[in-house]
């Protein structure tokens, strides 16, 4: 079943990001015994999303969430799962699930650092199963990927923001928003976050300027 799910997801540039079975008595979502995380590494979803978006009304709210729910919902329906989204309220602990499923650790920016995709990856949904899907054991392998940030001299991601919104104390959301909405913040809006782009790893997986601008507009609508 895992291979078939992966194959259907691949048709939209999505990948299975790992999964696990919840422990007995754990505070898991209702009726869920196991979870498979769905997302992308690099810009692989972008062409699929762009084609879909051209067929939608131009003022559609939250288009990427809508697309993700649609395509992951189709996979869930076919394989007897319940689809959930990182945007569902109350928020589900996607990063905690990802640390568990993929063994990833956070970068100084909070974004999880991936050994292949660097900072250029995200989660678009998850499939919750009332049992464990066939093949789950194949993707539960214990993972201890290298954490690239450990050996990164100078940590350039902490030194590129014009208003020092990211620091070792965390992310100053309001300082970032104020800057990106000001005339001086147009470069962040059009080309993406300087701190994220300062990371030297995974250049081949960097999102295009168009995709970065899309995410920035979703993050800081005017």
Helix (H, G, I), strand (E, B) or coil at 188: helix
If the CB atoms of residues 67 and 207 are measured against ligand SF4, the closer one turns out to be 207
Q: How many residues bind ligand B12 (CB under 6 A)?
A: 21
Residues 129-148 binding ligand SF4 (CB under 6 A) are: 148
CB contact at 8 A, 108 and 38: no
Which residues lie closer than 8 Å to 176 by C-beta, 6 or more apart? 161, 163, 165, 220
> Which listed residue (180, 205, 212, 214) binds ligand SF4 by CB under 6 A?
180
Q: Would you count residue 179 as binding ligand SF4 (CB under 6 A)?
A: yes
Residues 6+ apart with CB under 8 A from 34: 19, 20, 21, 22, 128, 129, 131, 132, 133, 136
| Interface contacts to ligand SF4, rule CB under 6 A | 107-108, 113, 119, 148-149, 152, 155-157, 161, 163, 165-166, 176, 179-180, 188, 193-195, 199, 201
| Interface contacts to ligand B12, rule CB under 6 A | 86-87, 91-96, 110-112, 121-123, 171, 173, 176, 193, 196, 215, 219
């Amino acid at each position: 079943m895992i291979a078939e799910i992966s194959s259907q997801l691949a048709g939209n540039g999505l990948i299975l990001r790992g999964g696990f079975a919840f422990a007995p008595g754990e505070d898991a979502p209702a009726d869920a015994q196991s979870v498979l995380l769905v997302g992308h590494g690099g810009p692989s979803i972008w062409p699929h999303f762009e084609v879909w978006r051209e067929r939608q009304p131009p003022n559609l709210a939250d288009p990427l969430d809508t697309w993700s729910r649609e395509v992951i919902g189709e996979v869930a329906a076919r394989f007897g799962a319940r689809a959930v989204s990182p945007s569902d309220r109350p928020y589900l602990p996607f990063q905690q699930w990802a640390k568990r499923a993929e063994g990833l650790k956070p970068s100084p920016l909070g974004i999880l650092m991936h050994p292949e995709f660097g900072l250029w990856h995200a989660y678009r949904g998850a499939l919750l199963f009332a049992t464990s899907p066939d093949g789950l054991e194949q993707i539960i392998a214990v993972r201890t990927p290298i954490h690239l940030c450990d050996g990164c001299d100078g940590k350039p991601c902490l030194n590129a923001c014009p208003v020092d919104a990211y620091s070792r104390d965390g992310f100053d959301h309001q300082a970032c928003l104020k800057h990106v909405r000001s005339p001086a913040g147009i470069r962040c809006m059009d080309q993406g976050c300087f701190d994220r782009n300062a990371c030297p790893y995974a250049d081949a997986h960097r999102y295009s300027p168009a995709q970065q601008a899309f995410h920035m507009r979703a993050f800081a609508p005017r």
